[in-house]
């Protein structure tokens, strides 16, 4: 309906017609003066409606995202309230800095191999199967560590 | 004697085809502009990924040659290699591909953790619509005015997409203006930010964003696509690709596709886009009073968009309390020059307070601005395409 109104609007049609007539850019160059009357009501309507729709689109997204977290935490909050723990939404929102600190701590924990070194230290006998074709094996060093 | 005459004629004919015989003052000006772009890209490192290809493209497009001789050299000559590559610009093929890559590179976490910042991205689109009105007042036809206004979105691909549909004859000037202003964000925005904010406001610290779950990140592109494109179907090619790229990234199961989109594909399209947009500035077609006016209107549009974002952040602060208040500078990032305007805000924040890191906060309106400008382009396309 709105599109039809815009399509049928006289001033925009006139603008489109005049665009055909003076669409040659050179012609336009000679006609470049700032004149508010050239805007027309339709120009204003397009601007206002356009801006409002942009706001509406992003406002809709805003409301969706705002409530998404609450929806996702609904189950968790039910479980916690069944345990007799009342928690607010803000308590479930972990700040990114804290999440980063926890992640870093866990990573360091798993990378810190010295605390969990294999304490079984044995000397393993290196197999040296004899073959006349590989007799040089006795002259070569074999590393005991095998991964 | 005849041989000498023939030699002289051959040389004259050859000379007619050289650049020296065909150079005009316009070519010389454009070559200088191309060199300036390359200088800014390499020496100053202002958006080198954009300015170097565009700058070199300007050189390529402004090597003077004997036009209309059937050599099929120029970008506007049908059948030339450059003309084929330029097809991706004129038909609006490159912008959605760029958006695919942007989607695959963008982390919407900052926006998801503080969704009210999304409104700043909407507020900054005021530049588009005010410039649209200004261009109408200057006598531009409605569809040209819309294509010029979209420069204020500070989004090169969106500007190219819309002008390819509404004002193909202005595409070169609009693309160059949009990309130039995107590259010059570090120069244009700081004075406006400093003018509209006090030192106390610039020092304001914002509370750290919350961590965002994987499920939220996966749901966002799906719901975002459905909501925005149902409202503004005209932006479907851009928004569809943006959210598709983001889903590839966030799903975690299509890493190869996300990698290709965010690296190889976007690199290929960027260099083709940059080179052809640069080459489209062929002096004989490009250097017109309209191009200069488009540049001026583009700058106005960009400045209004920046100011609109900042002022709206201040307006929001009237209703926010305590640590929920916003540093008004992040409103400037509502223009969709990702991530340049967010970097500018971070830089200015650190200048006033070395411990004030605003990058993550500024990224939220920044990515919201990308969505906002694509929605605005879709709306203008829907409203004006039928009138043309």
Contacts of A58 in chain B (CB under 8 A): 118-119, 121-122, 368, 371-372, 375
Quick one: which of B127, B161, B179, B377 has its CA closest to B295?
Answer: B179
Contacts of B290 in chain A (CB under 8 A): 25, 28-29
Which residue ranges make up each domain of chain A? 2-115
State ipTM.
0.84
Contacts of A64 in chain B (CB under 8 A): 223, 227
* Residue of chain B minimizing CA distance to A5: B383
Of all residues in chain A, the percent with pLDDT exceeding 70 is 54
- Hey, which residues 211-250 in chain B have their CB within 8 Å of chain A? 211, 213, 215-216, 219-220, 223-224, 227-228, 231-232
Tokens coding B319: 């209703």
Q: How many CB pairs under 8 A join A and B?
A: 173
Predicted local confidence at residue A139, as pLDDT: 65
Quick one: which of B230, B317, B137, B160 has its CA closest to A53?
Answer: B230
Predicted local confidence at residue A16, as pLDDT: 45
CA distance B273 to B87: 10
pLDDT band at A118 (very low <50, low <70, confident <90, very high): low
- Hey, which residues 369-388 in chain B have their CB within 8 Å of chain A? 371-372, 375-376, 379-380, 382-384, 386-388
Please give the average per-residue pLDDT across A13-36, as a whole number: 54
CA distance A57 to B333: 19
DSSP at B70: S
pLDDT band at B388 (very low <50, low <70, confident <90, very high): very low
Of all residues in chain B, the percent with pLDDT exceeding 90 is 55
Q: What is the pLDDT of residues B306-355, one digit of tens each?
A: 999 999 999 999 999 888 899 999 999 998 887 888 999 999 999 988 98
- Give the count of beta carbons closer than 10 Å to the beta carbon of residue B12: 10
Q: Do the beta carbons of residue B349 and residue B356 sit within 8 Å? A: yes
DSSP secondary structure letters along B38-51: HHHHHTS-SSHHHH
Predicted local confidence at residue A110, as pLDDT: 79
DSSP secondary structure letters along chain A: -HHHHHHH-HHHHHHHHHHHHT-SHHHHHTT----GGGTHHHHHHHHHHHHHHHHHHHHHHHHHHHHHHHHHHHHHHHHHHHTT----HHHH--BHHHHHHHHHHHHHHHH-GGGG------PPPPP----GGGGGGGGS---S---
Report the residue of B113, B118, B209, B294 to disrupt the A interface, i.e. the one with the largest count of A CBs within 10 Å: B118
Closest CB from A47, A55, A57 relative to B228:
A57
Closest CB from A3, A7, A96 relative to B210:
A96
Range B257-266 contact pairs with CB under 8 angstroms and sequence separation of 24 or more:
B257/B104, B258/B104, B259/B104, B261/B100, B261/B101, B261/B103, B261/B104, B262/B101, B262/B104, B262/B105, B265/B97, B265/B100, B265/B101, B266/B97, B266/B98, B266/B100, B266/B101, B266/B102, B266/B104, B266/B105
CA distance B160 to B173: 10
Report the residue of A8, A27, A28, A54 to disrupt the B interface, i.e. the one with the largest count of B CBs within 10 Å: A54
Contacts of A40 in chain B (CB under 8 A): 136
Predicted local confidence at residue A116, as pLDDT: 60
For residue B210, give the 3-state DSSP assignment.
strand
Q: Is the dihedral of CA B148, B150, B154, B156 positive or negative?
A: negative
Predicted local confidence at residue A142, as pLDDT: 64
């Amino acid at each position: 309906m709105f599109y039809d109104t815009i399509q049928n609007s006289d001033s925009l049609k006139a603008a489109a017609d005049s665009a055909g007539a003076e669409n040659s850019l050179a012609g336009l160059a000679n006609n470049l003066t700032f004149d508010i009357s050239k805007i027309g009501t339709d120009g204003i309507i397009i601007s206002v409606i356009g801006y409002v729709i942009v706001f509406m689109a992003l406002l809709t997204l805003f409301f969706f995202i705002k409530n998404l977290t609450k929806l996702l935490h609904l189950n968790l909050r039910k479980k916690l309230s069944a345990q007799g723990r009342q928690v607010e939404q803000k308590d479930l929102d972990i700040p990114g800095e804290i999440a980063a600190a926890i992640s870093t701590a866990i990573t360091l924990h798993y990378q810190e191999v010295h605390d969990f070194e294999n304490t079984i230290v044995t000397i393993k006998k290196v197999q040296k199967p004899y073959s006349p074709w590989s007799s040089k094996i006795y002259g070569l060093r074999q590393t005991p560590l095998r991964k | 004697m005849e041989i000498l005459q023939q030699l002289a004629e051959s040389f004259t004919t050859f000379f007619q085809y050289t650049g020296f015989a065909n150079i005009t003052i316009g070519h010389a000006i454009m070559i200088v502009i191309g060199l300036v772009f390359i200088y800014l890209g390499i020496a100053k490192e202002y958006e080198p990924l954009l300015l170097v290809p565009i700058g070199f493209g300007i050189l390529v497009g402004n090597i003077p040659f004997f036009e209309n001789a059937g050599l099929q050299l120029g970008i506007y000559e049908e059948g030339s290699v450059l003309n084929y590559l330029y097809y991706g610009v004129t038909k609006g093929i490159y912008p959605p591909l760029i958006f695919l890559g942007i989607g695959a590179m963008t982390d919407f976490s900052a926006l998801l953790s503080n969704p009210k910042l999304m409104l700043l991205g909407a507020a900054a689109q005021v530049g588009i619509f005010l410039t649209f009105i200004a261009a109408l007042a200057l006598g531009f036809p409605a569809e040209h005015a819309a294509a010029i206004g979209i420069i204020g979105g500070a989004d090169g691909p969106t500007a190219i997409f819309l002008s390819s549909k509404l004002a193909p004859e202005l595409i070169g000037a609009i693309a160059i203006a949009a990309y130039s202003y995107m590259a010059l964000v570090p120069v244009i925005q700081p004075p406006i930010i400093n003018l509209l904010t006090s030192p106390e406001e610039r020092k304001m610290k914002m509370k750290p964003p919350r961590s965002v779950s994987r499920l939220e990140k996966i749901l966002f592109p799906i719901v975002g696509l459905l909501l925005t494109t149902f409202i503004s179907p005209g932006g479907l090619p851009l928004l569809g690709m943006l959210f598709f790229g983001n889903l590839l990234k966030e799903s975690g199961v299509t890493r190869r596709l996300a990698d290709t989109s965010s690296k190889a594909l976007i690199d290929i399209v960027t260099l083709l886009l940059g080179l052809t947009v640069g080459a489209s500035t062929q002096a004989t077609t490009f250097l017109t009073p309209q191009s200069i006016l488009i540049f001026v209107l583009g700058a106005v549009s960009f400045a209004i968009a920046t100011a609109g974002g900042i002022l709206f952040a201040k307006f929001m602060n009237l209703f926010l309390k305590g640590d929920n208040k916003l540093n008004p500078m992040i409103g400037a990032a509502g223009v969709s020059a990702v991530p340049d305007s967010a970097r500018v805000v971070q830089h200015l924040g650190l200048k006033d307070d070395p411990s004030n890191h605003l990058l993550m906060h500024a990224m939220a309106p920044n990515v919201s601005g990308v969505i906002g400008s694509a929605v605005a382009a879709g709306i203008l396309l829907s409203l004006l395409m039928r009138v043309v």
